Amino acid sequence: MRRKIVAGNWKMNTTVAEGVDLAKSLVAKIKEVPSDVNLIIAPPFTHLVSVAQVISGSKIALSAQNCADEIKGAYTGEVSVSMLKSAGCAYTILGHSERREYYGETSSKLVKKIKLALNEGVMPIFCVGEKLEERNAGKHFVIIGAQLSEVLFELTPEEMAHVVIAYEPVWAIGTGVTATSEQAQEIHAFIRKEIAGRFGDSIANDTSILYGGSCKPSNAKELFACKDIDGGLIGGAALKADDFIAIAQSY
C-alpha cells in the first residue's frame, strides 16, 4: 500500500553514543508526528543493534544503508541481509548515488541485493537520480528510465509490490540546492508511469516514491504536497532531531 514515509539516511556520521542519543531524541518527539507518517532511520551498521533497542516499541522503523550481494560466507567486510534482519532492520537503502559513484554499485549487483533483501522480508528503498550534466543535457528521463528498467524491471510483480523508490537528483544531494516541486513532481510522475507500464496501475499507485536531495523543514511542505511525492529520504537534516521531526510534520 502507498504510504507516507520520511526516512533519514545518517550516512557515515555519528559515533554509536551520538547515534543512540539522536535516536532517543527522536523517540521523545515522535508523538509530534502525524500517525499516518512512517518514520524510518538508517544509521551506520555499527549502530543498528543499539539503535534498535532505543526505538523498540516506538513507531520508528530501522533501515540499513546497504547490504551484501551474497547470502553468507567468505566476503570479508560485508554485511548480509539476514544479519541486518537479525539486528532489527525492516528496510535497507540500496543504490544510493554515493554507492554507485564511489563503490562501483552496478545495476546487476543491485538486482541481486534487492532480491536477497526481499527474500528476507527486508524492504529495499531503491534510489535513482541523474547527475547535473545529465540534467543539463536533457537526459534525465533516459537516465532514470534506464536505472528503473535495469533493476526494478527484473523483479516479479510480487517483489515490486514491496519496494520503496527514492528519486534523488545527484545535483541536489548535500548541495543545498533542492529540486523545485515542479521538477520533482515531473520525475515522480514519470517513475510511476514507468512502473505502471511494466507492472500495471495497481502496483504503480501503491508504490511509495520519496524525494531526496537537500530536503529540509523549509521546503518539505511544498514538495510533499505534490501528487506523486510520498515523502522524503533525508540526509543532512536527518542528523538533527528537530529538523527531521519538522520535516515529518510537514505532511
**Residues of this chain that bind ligand PEP (CB under 6 A):** 9, 168, 173-174, 212-215, 233-237
Q: How far is the CB of 185 from ligand PEP (least distance, A)?
A: 17
Residue with smaller CB distance to ligand PEP, 128 or 199: 128
**CB of 9 or CB of 185, closer to ligand PEP:** 9
Residue 68, strand partner residues: none
Which CB sits closer to ligand PEP, 45 or 153?
45
Q: Is 96 a catalytic residue?
A: yes
Catalytic hit among 96, 134, 140, 194: 96
Minimum CB distance to ligand PEP, residue 237 (Å): 6
Handedness of CA 49, 55, 59, 65 (dihedral sign): negative
Least distance between ligand PEP and beta carbon 8 (Å): 9
Alpha helices, H only, 68-210: 81-87, 97-102, 107-119, 132-136, 140-151, 157-160, 181-199, 201-206
Please report how close the Cβ of residue 42 comes to ligand PEP at its closest, in angstroms: 9
Query: Residue 104 corresponds to which cell in the numbers above?
Result: 562501483
Distance between CA atoms of 147 and 133, rounded to whole angstroms? 16
Nearest to ligand PEP of 171, 199 (CB atom): 171
The answer to whether 232 and 209 have CB atoms below 8 angstroms apart is: no
154: annotated active-site residue: no
DSSP-derived letter for residue 153 is G
Query: At a CB cut-off of 8 Å and minimum separation 6, what does 246 contact?
Result: 217, 220
Q: Which of 105, 134, 168, 194 is catalytic?
A: 168
Catalytic residue annotation: 96, 168
